[in-house]
Structure 1
Amino acid sequence: MSKNTLNVALAQISPVWLNKEATLAKVAVQMEEAAKERAELIVFGEGVVPGYPFWLALTGGAEWNKDVVKELHAHYVRNAVCIEEGDLDGICELAAKRKMAVYLGIIERPLDRGGHSVYASLVYIDANGKIQSVHRKLQPTYDERLTWSPGDGHGLRTHRLKDFTVGGLNCWENWMPLPRASLYAQGENLHVAVWPGSDHNTKDITRFIARESRSYVLSVSATMTKDDFPESTPHLDEILRNAPDVLANGGSCIAGPDGEWLVEPVMIDEGNIYQTLDFDRIYEERQNFDPVGHYSRPDVTKLIVNRERQSTLNLEGD
């Protein structure tokens, strides 16, 4: 297969909500399906393992010291992904077996921050099954701050994939000009934007980023309906009493380097969305605009990025 083309799969699925093991099994199923279509990269939505914290808006999440919110948070943390404890080993092994790169949105419980707080993280696994970056969302949005912690710049990295250079951001991070620019400056020409779901997030910014960067943009969302809540969910009755029928309607889509649609937002339907990307289209569109090349002025404006992994502890002398 030519290095000049890339077969991609957008996995628009609902999680088995707040169930880490079952959702990872569902991720593996989508990877196997994508392998049958010769996909070389598969992307999943923001925090799909084990799911988005919808309860915050449905159970008075901002009310101080409320038992239902604290109990749901504890359940969430117990089902978060701990990479250090091997939670993603099976996905890495499958990626290596199928020679498929993966961008996977997880709720991460990292031991390097004590193991009790969670982060919305975007993990890149290469086609050899190696985790190459874990990007913790820089700034959780609005009520997300009641359960997610703010991340750092360690994961603001790009990766070579055949002729392409791929990078990714979580949800409203994609509206932050400087994180976007940091990826552009590292040679990004295939941008991955992951979302919890809904076309109101993807329908405008996907084409905007593509046109700004003259890159391909994959926007990948999850879906979630009232019927997708497992019966084992704590305080399910209270959640369902306030939940709309559709909480996340998908909206996964692909824009080309000219900012035009290759795949318009796909609504509601679960499953993989496939497309083959042609690298030459990037060179064509960079002819008249390249944001970090011939149409940049580094003598006037430059960006500083701190990629140090943040921690409250610096052990010396070990």
Structure 2
Amino acid sequence: MSNSTSDTLKVALGQLAPVWLNRKATLDKIAQSLSEAADNACDLIAFGEAIVPGYPFWIELTDGARFDNVEQKSIFAHYAEQAIQIERGDLATLCDIARQKNIATYVGVIERPLDRAGHSLYCSLVYIDQTGQIQSIHRKLMPTYEERLAWSTGDGHGLVTHPLKGFTVGGLNCWENWMPLVRAAMYAQGENLHVAVWPGNERNTRDLTSVIAREGRSFVMSVSGLMRPQDIDSKIEELQSIKKLGTDFLANGGSCLAAPDGSWVIPPQVGNEGIYYAEIDLAKVRQERQNFDPAGHYSRPDITQLTVNRKRQTTVNFND
């Protein structure tokens, strides 16, 4: 059967290593990849969790739980200084490229938002649409394990989906993708292209990506970063011990794309930077929804329902 052009979408997995803990250099690298994807007629490209300015790998590797430690406070201060402030216009270049080249993107950032006083950090997933507008900023609901020593807990404000040609796209950060109620919130909004972003490692993406695809009967893009010891800035003295660990990767990638039946469109890509492209067809979603649709004909809202609070959380309400 023939399909309309709105049924197809060209997507890309942007598996990059950040210029670790360097906001400007990493944004420049992402901008180059965003332009390259657009020049290849791509409609959407996604980049890994916390890629700007990088994932806090040091916490696990430098005894990061030491309380009131001078070295740990110094590293955190540098991390916070290099974080994204959207209100300052840090993503303006990416927005300009998206508008000029008619491409949408998901970018994982460490956000230092002014609406939470400007110093605490949030692991945020930002969606920029094809007009260059920031349409959502999703702050990770629950930082995982040692991440809680660097990141604050987010809220439900960013649990939204977006139209993109014939598709409905949504995204979650890392282990949020393991949270069944959060996934259900995305399915209920018509999501049929799910973007899962990760700091990296095939162990995170190989099994879960196809599970979400089969559960949601949707395409699922898992997009990871890379991190190697040589990516550590030699000027940051407190981090040099990580280079001596004798490992090739702190994060080895694992970006992949699964179809609505759980089969691979792009199998996990390990160990290499690159942009990986595929064309996906909404007809595949319709085929798999014939026998199972988690928010449609296979749901029972008369028996089970989910309540989601999407208010942006704040510590004070001023009545001026």
Counterpart in the other structure of 1:166: 169
1:62-81 map, 5 Å: 62-81=65-84
1:253 counterpart residue number: 256
Equivalent in the alignment of 1:224: 227
Aligned residues of 1:18 and 1:233 also touching (Cα < 8 A): no
Counterpart of 1:156 in structure 2 is 159
Superposed displacement of residue 58, structure 1: 1.2
Select 1:22's aligned residue among 20, 25, 28: 25
**2:127 corresponding residue in structure 1:** 124
Q: Quick one: which amino acid aligns to residue 106 of structure 1?
A: V
**In structure 2, C-alpha distance between the alignment counterparts of 1:106 and 1:196, rounded to whole Å:** 11
Partner of 1:263: 266
CA distance in 1 between counterparts of 2:238 and 2:246 reads: 13
Partner of 1:215: 218
TM-superposition CA deviations, 1:234-264 (whole Å, max 9, x none): 4132232346321000000000001111110
Matched residues in 2 for 1:243 and 1:147: separation? 25
State the 1:71 CA deviation: 0.5
The alignment partner of 2:31 has SS state of helix
Inter-partner Cα distance in structure 1 for 2:38 and 2:97: 10
> What letter is aligned with 1:64?
F
Residue number among 30, 48, 51 corresponding to 1:48 in the alignment: 51
Aligned to 1:197: 200
Q: How many residues align?
A: 317
Query: Which consecutive residues of structure 2, in runs of 5 or more, have no partner in the other structure?
Result: none
Q: Which residue of 2 aligns with 1:3?
A: 6
Question: Is the contact made by 2:99 and 2:132 (CA closer than 8 Å) also made in structure 1?
Answer: yes
CA contact (8 A) 1:8 1:41 kept: yes
Aligned residue for 2:6, secondary structure, equals: coil
Instruction: Supply the distance in 1 between the matched residues of 2:199 and 2:246 (Cα, whole angstroms).
Output: 16
C-alpha contact 1:55 1:61 (8 A) present in aligned 2: yes
One-letter code of the match for 1:208?
V
1:262 and 1:89 map into 2 onto residues whose CA distance is 32
Normalising by structure 2, what TM-score? Answer: 0.97
Q: Which amino acid aligns with 1:140?
A: P
Which residue in the other structure is 2:243 paired with?
240
Supply the distance in 1 between the matched residues of 2:168 and 2:73 (Cα, whole angstroms): 41
Rounded to whole Å, the distance in 2 between the matches of 1:178 and 1:172 is 13
8 Å contact from structure 1 (residues 59, 68) kept in 2:
no
In the TM superposition, what is the alpha-carbon distance from 1:65 to its structure 2 partner?
1.2
Q: Residue 281 of structure 1: SS of its match in structure 2?
A: helix
What is the TM-score normalised by the length of structure 1? Answer: 0.98
Alignment partner of 2:176: what SS? Answer: helix
For 1:204, the aligned partner's letter is D
| Matches of 1:244 and 1:54, distance apart in 2 | 13
Give distance in 1, aligned partners of 2:146 and 2:159: 24
SS of the residue corresponding to residue 5 of structure 2 reads coil
Partners of 1:37 and 1:233 lie apart in 2 by 37
SS state at 2:107 partner: strand
Distance 2:239 2:68 in 1: 19
Work out the CA distance in 2 between the residues paired with 1:75 and 1:243. 25
CA distance in 2, matches of 1:17, 1:112: 26
CA distance in 2, matches of 1:277, 1:234: 46
Per-residue deviation, 1:286: 0.2
Point out where structure 1 has 5 or more consecutive residues left out of the alignment: none
Equivalent residue for 2:100, pick from 93, 97, 101: 97
Q: Which of residues 294, 309, 312 is equivalent to 1:309?
A: 312
In structure 2, the partner of 1:294 is 297
Q: How far apart in 1 are the matches of 2:40 and 2:31? A: 15
RMSD of aligned Cα (Å): 1.0
Deviations 1:12-55 (A, max 9, x none): 00000000000000000101111121111010000000000011
User: In structure 2, the residue corresponding to 1:8 is in which secondary structure?
Assistant: strand
Identity of aligned residues (%): 58
In 2: Cα distance, 1:230 partner to 1:237 partner: 8
The code of the aligned residue for 1:44 comes to F
- Separation in structure 2 between the aligned mates of residue 192 and residue 265 of structure 1, nearest angstrom: 15
Structure 1 partner of 2:137: 134
Give, in whole Å, the separation in 1 of the partners of 2:111 and 2:28: 17
Q: After TM superposition, give the deviation of residue 233 of structure 1 in Å.
A: 2.6
